[in-house]
Structure 1
Amino acid sequence: MRISARRAVVDGELTGPVTMTVDDRIITTVEPYADPEADIVLDEGVLTAGLVDIQINGAFGVDFAAADEAGWDRVAAALPATGVTSFQPTLITAPLDRLIAGLDTATEARDRQEDGPYARILGVHLEGPWLSPLKNGVHEARFLAQPTAEAVDRLLGAVGFDILTLLTLAPELPGALEATRRLTAAGVPVSIGHTDATAVQVGAAADAGATLVTHIFNAQRGLAHREPGVPGAALADSRYRVGLIADLHHVAAEICTLIFRAAPGRVVLVTDAIAAAGMPPGGYVLSGIPVTVGEDGVPRNIDGTIAGSALTLDQAVRNMIGLGLPVAAVIEAASLVPADAIGRTDLGRIAPGARADLVHWTEDFHPARTWVDGREFPAFVGTGVGRV
């Protein structure tokens, strides 16, 4: 199959025209010209790589912590209509036995969905339970724990390494740096988050192998002029990529712009979405925690603490482009950078050797067509659910 597009995001630039060849679900060639005889000719809009969401707790009425098979399939089938072709389901703080069981459930879902029609499950992001009680947000304090050697043994011994693809911890906790070294040595990327770490401790975590910051500026020691805290240290340290919930509620527009300028090529757009994403205001659940979404679209628990988001990743892209940020930088923050963050260099880019995961956007950056492994998902009218 050959696809020709008038404009596309390739190699960090909004460029065009381009014509690509897809063979056996892989992009084999990308050439800088238009081919009017291609199988698919896109004369309007922009063609990009598929989006990669590495922090999503649920969506479309489904909470991954409690989802049955139908729920997992519902989310994976619906995400391509938002431009997401790969995702990392996220499980938040709970007893370790429950989290390990959740990893098994995710493995079953990934294996069941392997041949589509679904967005690709990359693995699981465990956000907790090794978090700071001073910055736990909506994570239940009763389930917080420390990353003891025994706990790390249990986690690594109970699951296949390929399903645990990211773990968030607070690096200042006793045992956290050694846990970081062990996890990264086992091939599990570590992100720091829900943390009261100082800038010195943030640097020590990077020395131990941490490479990400979970939802920068939220649930972490803040930026100050004499103590840079987590945001200041991470933005200044090129070893870190920084996750950003770009719903314009978690982080103000001005700070979103500042983050992109301070960390070019290191911003990872995430949704941190809960079951409320793609749904109307009302009551939802996040890992057993009651959450209400008001007319402002922001999920909050009973005491008013923000509890994830109702954001979809295509809306995050529109929000950032709407701030005047460069289109290519925003697209790559939602595709190439998150893919690289978890070691998936076969995703998130239009390049020879990459999986043929693609999004064709309208001129106002709404997904019009989406392909996963070269197979197209037409929009299912009224629900956003994809089908082949």
Structure 2
Amino acid sequence: MSLTLADARIVTPEGVHEGWLTIEDGRITHIGRGSAPGQGLSMGGRHVIPGFVDIHNHGGAGGSFPTGEQDKARAAVELHRRHGTTTTMASLVTDSLDGLARAASALAELCDEGLLAGIHFEGPYIAKARCGAHDPTLLREPSPRELAELLKAGRGHVRMVTIAAELPGGLDTIRMAAAEGVIAALGHSDADYDTALQGIEAGASVATHLYNAMPPLGHRAPGPVAALLDDERVTVELINDGVHVHPAMLRLAYEVAGPGRTALITDAMSATGLGDGDYVLGPMRVRVDGGVARLVEGGSIAGSTLTMDVAFRRSVQEVGMSLPDAVQVASLTPARVLGLADRIGSIAVGKAADLVVLSESLEVAGVMKDGVWVTEP
């Protein structure tokens, strides 16, 4: 079955052009400029961009990936798909080793189905001083032996683990993760500049939500922020909800790292799409007020209620990114982090037809996953 989307403003890595594209068997087969040959489905001049890729997401629509409940995980994925995220990695939070293994085993089945792009352990190998919304009583020193057991529970679907490099065993665990083909991310860390550099040298290649849960950037004590921003081997995650990071600091990170090393994430939790009220994030109780999620005890920010379409729109309207750059940080760069840029992340012949149709105001008007409409424009 063939479908042509006509009268579109197509955003590719090369820029924005008016034209058309054809989809066959879930893949993009032709991209052209000007009028489409034959009859196509008119986009009415709206933008067509690649589906968003979210590499740090804890849930939504009442579903929380850390619980490992498959039905609720499906509901979360569906919620985010309606907001344009066609590829989602499920992030867990600190729990007992048995709890993490159970959740990873259950979510691995959804990875087998292709519903999820992988599993991210955000904890338990993080610093107590920077644990944020993680249960401090369940934190552990990083251990290559323990991580090997967690990877086994995930049956090859664990794609990322966040580690505080300064902890005993931190550097060895980073080396082990990288050797196993798992992305080692520095985050929830109290590391200084030099220790962060050691973590990067050991193999860490992602900054878990840059700025958040780490020492602030200082002119005499630059800390991990400067090390992570300055190193060409590191991709920095950023939560662009206007709460976690001020637009000026997000703009600074983007200007230093560039679109090729900047990845928008949601850090979304179960309340996303539902509104204010009481929820949980792993074992922690969370209250959402005015769309901001905070721990009931202590008041730390506890993930977000962000969706990627909002993060994308803010990047253009608040941060000042061009459309092609905003597409790169929301789609192509995170796809590269996952090693999937040959299949997703940009509009190109041969890639999956994961597409988002945007209105003039950059609101989602339609979403397609593998050539099938999730919501039809």
TM range (shorter): over 0.9
Q: CA deviation at 1:38?
A: 4.5
Residues 1-388 of structure 1 mapped to structure 2, 5 A cutoff? 1=2, 2-13=4-15, 15-35=16-36, 37-66=38-67, 68-111=69-112, 113-114=113-114, 120-161=115-156, 163-265=157-259, 266-295=261-290, 297-302=291-296, 303-323=298-318, 324-345=320-341, 346-378=343-375
Structure number with the higher helix fraction is: 2
For residues 325 and 154 of structure 1, the distance between their equivalents in structure 2, rounded to whole angstroms, comes to 42
| 1:274-314 Cα deviation digits (max 9, x unpaired) | 1111111111111121111112x110112111110111111
For residues 244 and 204 of structure 2, the distance between their equivalents in structure 1, rounded to whole angstroms, comes to 23
**Comparing 64-73 and 255-264, the one that deviates more:** 64-73
Output the aligned Cα RMSD: 1.7
For residues 107 and 123 of structure 2, the distance between their equivalents in structure 1, rounded to whole angstroms, comes to 17
- Give the AA of the match of 2:124: P
Q: Secondary structure at the match of 2:130?
A: coil
For residues 328 and 143 of structure 2, the distance between their equivalents in structure 1, rounded to whole angstroms, comes to 36
Asked if structure 1 preserves the Cα contact closer than 8 Å seen for 2:164 and 2:190, the reply is yes
| 1:225-261 Cα deviation digits (max 9, x unpaired) | 1221121111111111110010011001111111211
For residues 288 and 153 of structure 1, the distance between their equivalents in structure 2, rounded to whole angstroms, comes to 23
Q: Secondary structure at the match of 1:364?
A: coil
- Give the AA of the match of 1:309: S
Match of 1:385 in 2: none
For residues 250 and 301 of structure 1, the distance between their equivalents in structure 2, rounded to whole angstroms, comes to 14
- Give the AA of the match of 2:197: G
- How many residues align structurally? 371
Asked if structure 2 preserves the Cα contact closer than 8 Å seen for 1:5 and 1:46, the reply is no
For residues 120 and 234 of structure 2, the distance between their equivalents in structure 1, rounded to whole angstroms, comes to 17
| 1:48-78 Cα deviation digits (max 9, x unpaired) | 0000111111101111222533212212222
Q: Secondary structure at the match of 1:311?
A: coil
Q: CA deviation at 1:262?
A: 1.4
For residues 103 and 287 of structure 1, the distance between their equivalents in structure 2, rounded to whole angstroms, comes to 13
Asked if structure 1 preserves the Cα contact closer than 8 Å seen for 2:95 and 2:283, the reply is no
Q: Secondary structure at the match of 1:349?
A: coil
**Comparing 146-155 and 101-110, the one that deviates more:** 146-155
For residues 38 and 172 of structure 1, the distance between their equivalents in structure 2, rounded to whole angstroms, comes to 60
Asked if structure 1 preserves the Cα contact closer than 8 Å seen for 2:6 and 2:36, the reply is yes
For residues 351 and 203 of structure 1, the distance between their equivalents in structure 2, rounded to whole angstroms, comes to 36
Q: Secondary structure at the match of 1:194?
A: coil
Q: CA deviation at 1:136?
A: 0.6
Asked if structure 2 preserves the Cα contact closer than 8 Å seen for 1:56 and 1:274, the reply is yes
| 1:202-240 Cα deviation digits (max 9, x unpaired) | 222221211110111100122111221121111111111
Specify every segment of 5 or more residues in structure 1 that has no aligned partner in the other structure, as ranges: 115-119, 381-388
**Measured at CA, do residues 337 and 48 of structure 1 come closer, stay the same or move farther in structure 2, by a change above 3 Å?**
same
**Measured at CA, do residues 325 and 221 of structure 1 come closer, stay the same or move farther in structure 2, by a change above 3 Å?**
same
Asked if structure 2 preserves the Cα contact closer than 8 Å seen for 1:5 and 1:16, the reply is no
Q: Percent identity?
A: 32
For residues 157 and 110 of structure 1, the distance between their equivalents in structure 2, rounded to whole angstroms, comes to 14
- Give the AA of the match of 1:343: G
**Measured at CA, do residues 306 and 25 of structure 1 come closer, stay the same or move farther in structure 2, by a change above 3 Å?**
same
Structure 1 segments (4+ residues) deviating >6 Å: none
Q: Secondary structure at the match of 1:101?
A: helix
Q: CA deviation at 1:273?
A: 0.6
**Measured at CA, do residues 5 and 53 of structure 1 come closer, stay the same or move farther in structure 2, by a change above 3 Å?**
farther
- Give the AA of the match of 1:325: M
Q: Secondary structure at the match of 1:121?
A: coil
Q: Secondary structure at the match of 1:7?
A: strand
Specify every segment of 5 or more residues in structure 2 that has no aligned partner in the other structure, as ranges: none
Asked if structure 2 preserves the Cα contact closer than 8 Å seen for 1:169 and 1:192, the reply is yes
For residues 153 and 89 of structure 2, the distance between their equivalents in structure 1, rounded to whole angstroms, comes to 19
